[in-house]
Amino acid sequence: MPHTSAPLDIEAGRLTNGVRPALPGFGWFRRRAAAPAPAGAGASTATIIAFLLPALTIYVAFTAYPAVRTLWNSFHKVLPRREEFVGLENYAALMQDDLFWRAVRNTIAWACASPLIEVSIALLLALALYAKVPGARFFRIAWFTPVLMSYIVVGILWVWIFNYDWGPVNVALRAVGLGGWARAWLGDPATALPSLIFVTSWMWVGFNMVVLLAALHSLPKEVIEAAELDNCGWGAKLVFVILPLVRATILNLIVLSFIGKMKIFDLVWITTKGGPLWSTETVSTYVYKRAFEWNTFDLGYPSTIAAVWFVIVLAAVLALTWAFGLRQKLEY
Amino acid sequence: MRPAAILQRSLLLVALSVYTAFAAGPFVWAAMMSLRTTSEISRNHFALPSPAHWEKFPQAWFNSNYSVYFSNSLIIVVTAVVILTLIGSMAAHCFARYRFRLNRVLYFVIFSTLIFPPQITIISLFQILVQYGLYNSKLGLTMVYVAIQLPLTIYILESFFARIPSDLFDAARMDGFSDWEIFWRVSFPIALPAIATTVILNFILLWNEFLYAVVLITDEANRTLPLGIQRFMGDQLEDIGMIATGLMIAIVPVIVVYAFFSEKLIQGMTAGAVK
């Protein structure tokens, strides 16, 4: 059968064209940090500086310095023409800020729900294609499309799809006699967040599917054949052979999806702007509003939000990495 | 095949086709609407575009400023990708080839930036660009784009460069190549597949980028496509037909690239999975 040959050979740690994958793998921090220095030759300091200077300059000017400055800002009141030290005042205010905590809850709910939905549907689809369905290549290419579009395009499309009067969702509901369920999906505080979570799932399932399919195609054939010789049924083969072998990939995808949703901004901004009634407010949109929309002109307080959020994201990612890594050790 | 197996297979195919309709349907719908006028659309939202109003594309292009948005996006993204490819591969080559103190430390610092939420830099970037006089300019946004994609580019390329056998470099050195020639005439050509991956990945991600653009650009003359679309949507909320045409203008380049390089593009996107 012509291939769906996976472009990625994740388990073996490389792409077929030789690029190391994408998914850095759990424990990437530890592993990368501990990696041995390259075996290559030493070179003059001048050479090394010449090669690194352009990248480091950009990195320092547009990433490192702004990050440090945000931390600095977080202890200040930063008005257009003056700056004044306020110590931990911003942090204290943040603890009392109900809107912030609302945004944190929304974002975390999103970041926890999405990976589970995306990865489980993606796994089902990947298994279906793995079972040698005709047209697998076409399906794979079609399903991958949504992730290539910007959140802006996707957001506008789904605003229309969820439209109360003529959106396909409500039209379909009315057509099957469930008109009572029709509603302004993004305008109702009860359904706005779930609807947006649904949109991100629509967008990312194909992506997760492609990565999982690649992992499935790179499984050692002998192991699966051995299971078949032992008269292992599909269900058992899946649970005892396939899933354990692609577990690392699944866990990777969960963390990636999690990180992506912790950053989400564009989709919310173009669809609901955090409304109705803050039901879709995420930390990113809240920071943006506090920095550039509310006429407080203070950049210190939003910097404090950014700093606290940075710590939360970092801690969550490290915790996930650690939890998944630990389980791996216990099992084997 | 037994009848039961055939039935099973057909059911599976039906299910997969339904999912395909769900995944691709919104685009097909938008594409249809992009060729219909708003009054046609409000009569029936789901009809085929007949007659097809191709003239809506030049209209959007010339009258609604899409030509400006499109060329801004193109200039900014292409410049950023070229710079990224050059300085990213130089840095990656250096991290992968040379032994020096701080090698792993620097690599790790840059690499760990991948999980930073953008808010940690964006507010100060706004301040800093205002100070440098780069706020609201194409140059400023280009530099920021280089910075945000740099860690991923270095990560993908470093791992590729690291696996080029060092014999090759020893041989090149023996032949009297300088360090720069080794990079430019040995490393770089060998790494072309990986470099192509990063080029495609960076292009798509930056073409679609919105957050930094919305913070750092306010001038109509410097708006990129995502900003232009948002602006147009804000002004002409009811003009669904025209908005759909605008969406298509933004999507077409991506679709064209996808049509020709679907495998390479999927590779690129999955290689960017760290994001």
ipTM of this predicted complex?
A: 0.88
Beta bridge partners of A76: A85
What pLDDT sits at residue A6?
Answer: 33
Residue by residue, DSSP assigns B52-94 as: --TTHHHHHHHHSSHHHHHHHHHHHHHHHHHHHHHHHHHHHHH
Tell whether the model's pLDDT for residue A27 goes beyond 70.
no
Nearest to A271 by CA among A173, A165, A163, A112: A163
All residues of chain B having their beta carbon less than 8 Å from the beta carbon of residue A314 are: 115
B52 close to A (CB below 8 A): no
Mutate to test the interface with A, among B70, B94, B156, B239 (most CBs of A within 10 A): B94
Q: Give A263→chain B minimum CA distance, Å.
A: 6
Of A39, A153, A256, the CB nearest to B166: A39
Q: Give A18→chain B minimum CA distance, Å.
A: 7
User: For A156-206, what is each residue's pLDDT tens digit?
Assistant: 999 999 998 888 999 999 999 888 888 889 999 999 999 999 999 999 999
Distance in angstroms (rounded) separating the CA atoms of residues A268 and B257: 27
Distance in angstroms (rounded) separating the CA atoms of residues A97 and A120: 35
| Token pair 């400055």: residue | A69
Tell whether the model's pLDDT for residue A331 goes beyond 70.
no
What pLDDT sits at residue B23?
Answer: 92
What pLDDT sits at residue A32?
Answer: 46
All residues of chain A having their beta carbon less than 8 Å from the beta carbon of residue B46 are: 168, 171
Q: Give A48→chain B minimum CA distance, Å.
A: 7
Spatial neighbors of A60 by CB under 8 A, at least 6 apart, are none
What pLDDT sits at residue A3?
Answer: 34
User: For A94-144, what is each residue's pLDDT tens digit?
Assistant: 999 999 999 999 999 999 999 999 999 999 999 888 887 888 888 988 898
Residue by residue, DSSP assigns A161-209 as: HT-TTT-HHHHHHHHTT-GGG---TTTSTTTHHHHHHHHHHHHHHHHHH
For all residues of chain A together, what is the average pLDDT? 82
> Which residues does chain B have with pLDDT short of 50?
274-275
What pLDDT sits at residue A235?
Answer: 79
Would you tell me which residues 112-151 of chain B have a C-beta closer than 8 angstroms to some C-beta of chain A? Answer: 112-113, 115-128, 143-144, 146-148, 150
Distance in angstroms (rounded) separating the CA atoms of residues B163 and B72: 38
Distance in angstroms (rounded) separating the CA atoms of residues A109 and A214: 29
CB contact under 8 A, B121 and A63: yes
Tell whether the model's pLDDT for residue A16 goes beyond 60.
no
CB contact under 8 A, B267 and A15: yes
Please name the residue of chain A whose CA is at the shortest distance from the CA of residue B130: A80
Of B23, B154, B169, the CB nearest to A142: B23
What pLDDT sits at residue A293?
Answer: 86
Class of CATH domain A89-331: mainly alpha
Domain parsing of chain A, residue ranges: 89-331
Given pLDDT bands bounded at 50, 70 and 90, which one contains residue A17? very low
Q: Does domain B63-274 have CATH number 1.20.1260.10?
A: no
Distance in angstroms (rounded) separating the CA atoms of residues B15 and B7: 12
What pLDDT sits at residue B272?
Answer: 53
Given pLDDT bands bounded at 50, 70 and 90, which one contains residue A8? very low
Domain parsing of chain B, residue ranges: 3-34, 63-274
Please name the residue of chain B whose CA is at the shortest distance from the CA of residue A60: B147
pTM > 0.80: yes
CB contact under 8 A, A62 and B270: no
- What's the rounded mean pLDDT across residues A259-264? 91
Distance in angstroms (rounded) separating the CA atoms of residues A275 and B26: 24
Of A55, A61, A211, the CB nearest to B90: A55
Mutate to test the interface with B, among A9, A77, A156 (most CBs of B within 10 A): A156
